[in-house]
Amino acid sequence: MTGVDRFSTLASGFASAASDWLDHGNIDRRRAVEETLKSDNSFTPEALDLAIDTLLARIDERSLGDWIGQRFARTPMTVGVLNAGNVPFVGLQDLLAVTLTGHHYAGVMSSKSPSLLPAFTASVRQRVPELPVHFSGFGSTLAKADALLATGADSTVSHVSAAARRAGIEASRQLLRGTRTSLAVLDGSETSEDLAGLASDALLHEGRGCLNVSIVLAKTGTDRGPIIRAFEEFRKKFPPHPLTMAGLALEERFLRATRQEFHSSEGFLILVGERSPRRPCVVVWSEIAHVREAELWIAAKRQRLQVVVASDSIGLEVDDCPRVDFGTSQDPPIDWMPDGRDGVKWLASLA
């Protein structure tokens, strides 16, 4: 079977399964959601359904074809994939990229989200019995893998990289993604729609993941009142998880004890402080004199940033850090490149 034929078969299977899963009444989806909500995570029903709907709505044969193009592996390999578990369905893009470029996918699921990706894969396998996907533990996956793609905290990635080298997987066959965060830049001219989008950028999925806005750089004098109200409105639609509330209570006690300036509401906290990420759903607010100050800070911290949220009108110039519109940081396109690295290009070049 040629690369084009294999791609066509897989893309059709993924698109068909995705279409079925967009029905909230689909029995496989319902079971996977129920199992996921029982796992040790901070997922909420509202955010979980939104994540599934958003990701699967992008999967159709044309979109997959535009993304992959003719970038097929010359030497098919077994690619081990270590999935993060802090955001629902976060490993779907890697599953698609590995299989559609012609490799065998060997996945390791996080205990925080063990059910969604395998359940969706099972639905695809009903359509494509030869689907080159299996899931197992980390050790057995490393023993079989020719290459490794891993996402997680810096400490996890460091451990994984060392283990991969011991297993004989050289550095050129490792694509590793560590700790990242995202931020927003405001100049006070943002619309109510922009601020509603910012609330989603900061609080969706309980403030977890590399696309979560954890820092806001705001022009001196920007009123925080409309932002607080936008965050409160968001929380009416996406109530916080109990784990989030427990973490915020600890943070608030610490901030009160240390007499720091902050605002606390149901399900989020805005802290006026140093430009460094805190716990989930704590947004750090820091003032800037002008946009150029933000540009310099972003350039200095580029290696720790995933995206910058800002409106076109403020004229923010960031060379190699993606700028996205308000309300879109948690909704990347199917072909987005985490850490600015083209995973499909890397997979197609493995040899």
Domain assignments of the chain as residue spans, ordered by start: 3-179, 181-324
Q: pLDDT class for 2, splitting at 50, 70, 90?
A: confident
Instruction: Give the mean pLDDT of the chain.
Output: 96
pLDDT higher at 309 or 151: 309
- Say whether pLDDT at 1 is over 80: no
- Say whether pLDDT at 136 is over 90: yes
Q: What is the mean pLDDT of residues 318-347?
A: 94
Residues 321 and 296: beta-carbon distance below 8 Å: no
Q: What is the CATH number of domain 3-179?
A: 3.40.605.10
For residue range 54-66, list pLDDT tens digits in order.
999 999 999 999 9
Residues 131 and 133: their CA atoms lie apart, in Å, by 6
For residue range 94-106, list pLDDT tens digits in order.
999 999 999 999 9
Per CATH, which fold does 181-324 belong to? Aldehyde Dehydrogenase; Chain A, domain 2 (3.40.309)
- Say whether pLDDT at 225 is over 80: yes
pLDDT for the residue 155: 86
For residue range 140-176, list pLDDT tens digits in order.
999 999 999 999 888 888 899 999 999 999 999 999 9
- Say whether pLDDT at 272 is over 90: yes
pLDDT for the residue 152: 87
Q: What is the mean pLDDT of residues 260-266?
A: 97
pLDDT for the residue 156: 87
Query: What percentage of the chain carries pLDDT values higher than 90?
Result: 95
- Say whether pLDDT at 319 is over 90: no
Least confident of 22-36, 153-167, 179-193: 153-167
- Say whether pLDDT at 8 is over 80: yes
Which pTM value belongs to this model?
0.95
**For residue 204, what are the β-bridge partners?**
none
pLDDT for the residue 153: 86
- Say whether pLDDT at 222 is over 90: yes
Q: pLDDT class for 213, splitting at 50, 70, 90?
A: very high
pLDDT for the residue 33: 97
